[in-house]
Chains A and B, each alone.
Chain A
Amino acid sequence: MNFFRLTADLMHLLSIFVLLLKIQKTRSCSGISFKTQLLYAVVFVTRYLDLLKWISLYNTLMKIFFIASSIYILYLMKIKFRATYDPSQDTFRIEFLLGACLLLALVFNYTFTFIEVLWTFSIYLEAVAILPQLFMLSRTGEAETITTHYLFALGAYRGLYLLNWIWRFYTEHHIDWIVWVAGAIQTALYSDFFYIYYKKVLHGQKFELP
């Protein structure tokens, strides 16, 4: 564990709490892409098939939290606050993402086993899981401030992981090219959002696309 990785994980936790706060406070999931949340649930379930493999208490508790919270968010969006979800705004075709990621995982992986291919699939899928949300944002052209805080925390978590990998490469000679490539792409997807968040939200304005 190092500073960057711990901070990244805490930002990831924070992003989920901000999302839950947004839904509970406004009693609405408007502006949130169900498809992105569905993809995150798929990411956690396929990645943490090794849940019973012991690494540390921290690792196990975080995995349980990520699986449970992602499924709870699906419940909130699909059942509890179903009336506030507008599918006509959430039109990104996730079938292509799922298919492409599965294909890539079958071709580019460390070991061709069931668990390992699904782990690789989850890494690729996480990299692009935010696309339906960003697509929805670009369609509506604006977002509630709390929703942008959620996206910022999520993007910061990815950016900090890049620093963690640089740190681990120099201190442990840790190499994990699948995670590096996917993580770099994932962070790059946030660059436009970061720019507008910095220009508008941090200066007290509403998040609006130019």
Chain B
Amino acid sequence: SSSPKTHDEL
């Protein structure tokens, strides 16, 4: 699962 800290959404 991806970490929310990567902030890959715009």
Contact residues of A: prevailing secondary structure: helix
CB–CB B7/A50 < 8 A = yes
Near B by CB (< 8 A), chain A positions 1-54 give 5, 9, 12, 50
Give CA–CA (A175, B8) in the complex, Å: 12
Candidates A111, A173, A178; contact of B1 at CB < 8 Å? A173
Report the minimum CB–CB distance from A108 to chain B (whole Å).
13
Give CA–CA (A9, B10) in the complex, Å: 8
Give CA–CA (A178, B2) in the complex, Å: 15
Contact residues of B: prevailing secondary structure: loop
How many interface residues does chain A have, given as a range?
20 to 34
Candidates B1, B2, B4, B10; contact of A63 at CB < 8 Å? B10
- B5's nearest neighbour on chain A, judged by CB, is A110
CB–CB B5/A174 < 8 A = no
Q: Is A176 an interface residue (CB 8 A)?
A: yes
6 contacts between A and B (CB under 8 A): A59-B8, A59-B10, A111-B5, A173-B1, A174-B4, A175-B4
Which residues of B pack against A, CB within 8 Å? Answer: 1-2, 4-10
